[in-house]
């Protein structure tokens, strides 16, 4: 592939794409339970910070875009060893692509969560595309797919894309 | 809700308190969202808004317009210029399509450097 050859050493590119295929094959991995049940105090903090006022979020429902909040790692949280997104980011960091920039978040909600529900999440590596020449520098777009469940019911999904890049040297 | 409906512009002043309180409320403790020294050491001008908040503010913008009964099916955003304190986040939006029971609302949140967030919010029509 001529673009790969001109932007990134071919051997490095081949190694990155081989790692991507291996990590993709893990499928939905890094399953984690939310630290807390969906709960009113956390909803209230979010409503206050965002300035969103809605009675329904005081009557048992949680704002849909909070789906991701419940399974955030929190302060000092550690990623599991086989977290597909971070494993792929580490591969790229080790290859010199040490810059990171979130570029896209695509969330879909099957339904609103309810106070008292226990949420869990899985993460899969969806795609690695590159190398691309971008305004930030040469890099690869890494897309992961998170899926949230309550029990066996899927409640939300997210495609999340980051650019891992070699920062341009600024004058 | 019909194609062509425009959502009134909403201007939100970005304060350090907004950036920090929303980062913590979304349980995002990355230092670039609350520690200016660390943000600047990482090459940023200042602390900046986190992605979960950019998504949440799209939720708020559409909810404030459509009413609390709105059923949001999805929020897809592309991120552009960072949202720094002392700037203003100016939201504009329009219903671009209503089909198969879903209204697609195109939303842009602009700062002085350009579009901070562009995306779509899908709601039950």
Give per-residue pLDDT as tens, B11-54.
999 999 999 999 999 999 999 999 999 999 988 999 999 999 99
In a domain, A170, yes or no: no
Mean pLDDT of all residues belonging to chain A? 94
Segment B84-113 shows an average pLDDT of: 98
- Residue pointed to by tokens 């002085």: B112
Read off the pLDDT band of A171 (50, 70, 90).
very low
- Asked if B109 and A132 touch (Cβ cutoff 8 Å), the reply is no
CATH class of the domain comprising B6-15+51-124: alpha beta
CATH number of A59's domain: 3.10.129.10
Read off the pLDDT band of B108 (50, 70, 90).
very high
In a domain, A171, yes or no: no
CB contact under 8 A, A50 and B69: no
Read off the pLDDT band of A5 (50, 70, 90).
low
Cα dist from A24 to A33, A98, A131, A164, whole Å = 22, 21, 18, 17
- Residue pointed to by tokens 């939303």: B107
Instruction: Note the pTM of the prediction, 2 decimals.
Output: 0.94
How far A79 CA sits from the closest chain B CA (Å)? Answer: 14
For residue B42, the model assigns a pLDDT of: 85
Segment A138-165 shows an average pLDDT of: 97
In a domain, A12, yes or no: yes
Read off the pLDDT band of A110 (50, 70, 90).
very high
Please enumerate in sequence order all residues whose Cβ is within 8 A of that of A131, keeping only pairs 6 or more positions apart, or say none: A3, A4, A7, A8, A13, A138, A139, A140
Q: Terminal CA-to-CA distance of chain A, rounded, Å?
A: 31
Residue A53 CA, chain-centre distance (Å), reads: 28
Residues constituting chain A: 171
Widest pairwise Cα distance in chain A: 57
For residue A3, the model assigns a pLDDT of: 54
Q: How far apart are CA B66 and CA B48, in angstroms?
A: 28
CB contact under 8 A, B73 and A109: yes
In a domain, A17, yes or no: yes
- Asked if A7 and A88 touch (Cβ cutoff 8 Å), the reply is no
How far A21 CA sits from the closest chain B CA (Å)? Answer: 25
For residue A44, the model assigns a pLDDT of: 98
Write the DSSP symbol of residue B50: -
Interface membership of A54 toward B (CB under 8 Å): yes
- Asked if A54 and A146 touch (Cβ cutoff 8 Å), the reply is no
Q: How many other CB atoms sit within 10 Å of the CB of residue B74?
A: 21
What's the number of domains chain A is made of?
1
The number of C-alpha atoms within 13 Å of B58 and in the hemisphere containing its C-beta is: 36
How far B80 CA sits from the closest chain A CA (Å)? Answer: 7
Domain holding A29, by residue range, is: 2-165
């Amino acid at each position: 592939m001529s673009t790969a050859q001109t932007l990134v050493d071919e051997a490095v590119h081949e190694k990155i794409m081989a790692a991507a295929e291996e990590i993709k094959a893990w499928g939905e991995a890094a399953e984690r339970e939310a630290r807390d049940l969906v709960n009113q105090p956390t909803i209230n903090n979010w409503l206050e910070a965002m300035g969103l006022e809605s009675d329904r979020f005081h009557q048992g429902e949680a704002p849909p875009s909070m789906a991701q909040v419940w399974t955030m790692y929190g302060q000092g949280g550690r990623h599991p060893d086989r977290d597909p997104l971070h494993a792929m980011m580490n591969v790229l960091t080790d290859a010199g692509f040490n810059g990171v920039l979130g570029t896209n978040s695509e969330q879909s909600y099957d339904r609103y969560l309810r106070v008292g529900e226990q949420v869990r999440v899985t993460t899969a590596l969806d795609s690695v595309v590159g190398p691309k020449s971008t305004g930030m520098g040469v890099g690869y777009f890494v897309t992961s797919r998170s899926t949230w469940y309550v029990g066996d019911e899927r409640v939300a999904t997210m495609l999340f894309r980051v650019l891992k890049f070699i920062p341009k040297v600024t004058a | 809700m019909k194609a062509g409906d425009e959502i009134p512009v909403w201007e939100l002043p970005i304060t350090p308190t907004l950036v920090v309180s929303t980062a913590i409320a979304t349980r995002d403790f990355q230092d670039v969202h609350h520690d200016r020294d660390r943000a600047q050491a990482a090459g940023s001008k200042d602390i900046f808004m986190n992605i979960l908040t950019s998504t949440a503010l799209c939720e708020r913008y559409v909810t404030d317009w459509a009413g609390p009964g709105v059923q949001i099916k999805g929020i897809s955003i592309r991120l552009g210029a960072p949202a720094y304190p002392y700037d203003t986040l100016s939201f504009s939006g329009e219903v671009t399509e209503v089909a198969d029971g879903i209204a697609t609302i195109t939303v842009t949140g602009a700062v002085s450097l350009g579009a901070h967030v562009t995306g779509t919010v899908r709601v039950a029509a």
